[in-house]
Structure formats: structure tokens, C-alpha cells
Amino acid sequence: MNFDDILNNTNALKEPTVICFGNKKLPLHFLAEGHALEFALVNGKRKVIRFIDSGQFVFRFNLGHGIEASEHSTFLKLEWDKLVQMLKKFPGEIPQLHKKLKEKHIQDLKEYRADLKKTPAERYFHLLEKQPWVKVLATPEEIASYLNLSLAQYHNLTGVE
């Protein structure tokens, strides 16, 4: 099965937008271009959970979380009915696709949990190394939130006044 066959059955969004939030089920999305972040509302404030690179399937870690695309991002929505119709044409591929998606989700969760054990400074330098775009596209408030720091603590860490 060619992945492009699945993506031909999608809708692309080209504006900054929250693609989902709350307890409703999230359709499967693929971030083809741009970047996104996963967030939760904690005590009325937005808490950034993670930053998402292009070329990734987008899964929320929690039903109460939201996903927000940055400007000029393209999310490809994989509609379940069209995906099921296509996969029926290739019944031998369904277990393989399910396994790959599940492995990716489990790997993301493991990385998220390992990241939580790091100090804010370790998380910051890891972020700069693995996702340098975050420093350019995310606001200082979003990065501070991700690091579990106040804005003043974030500025102290980065040496910004």
C-alpha cells in the first residue's frame, strides 16, 4: 500500500488553527508541512505539552489536550471512513499499518515521560538540539510553559532580559 493513496483522501488546512480540543475524538492527522504544539488548559492557563515536527502523525497524549498548528502548516486529515474503505482493498496491510502507528505513539509517550525527568535546563538544550525551529516560531511564554518555568525563570535560563 502506498501512503500517498491514503493522503489523497484528505483535506489540507493552510492557516493557523486549533484542529481539536476537548474530549471529542481526534481524527487521525498527519502534519505534512509546518509545526504544531499540543497543549492543555491548567487552571485556566495554556500549558504546552510538546512541540510537533512536520512529517509526524498527530496523536494527543490525553483527550483533554488540544493541537494547534502554526502559521503556514498543512495538516492532512485522514477521514476514518475513507481510510477504512482504502484499507479494505489491502487487507494484508491493516495489521502492519496499525503496528507502525501504535509503535510511533508508544515511542512518543516514552520520550515524553523521559523528558519529564529532565531538569528545565536539560529540556531546553534538548529542545534546541532536536527542534531548533521552536526558538524561532514559539513564543517565550510557550517555551516557558513547556519547560514548567515562569517567564522570569525562562529569561534567567536563556539570559534574555
DSSP 140-157: HHHHHHHTT--HHHHHHH
pLDDT in tens, 125-141: 999 999 999 999 899 99
Instruction: Tell me the average pLDDT across 51-58.
Output: 85
Going by CATH, does the domain composed of 3-89 fall within 2.60.120.10?
yes
Query: 32 versus 146: which is more confidently predicted?
Result: 146
pLDDT at 68 over 50: yes
How far, in whole angstroms, is CA 52 from its chain's centroid?
A: 4
Q: Are 46 and 64 in contact (CB under 8 A)?
A: no
Residue 41 dihedral angles phi and psi, to the nearest 5°:
-95, 120
DSSP 89-104: T-GGGHHHHHHHHHHH
pLDDT level of residue 66 (50, 70, 90 thresholds): confident
pLDDT in tens, 69-97: 887 788 777 766 777 777 777 777 777 87
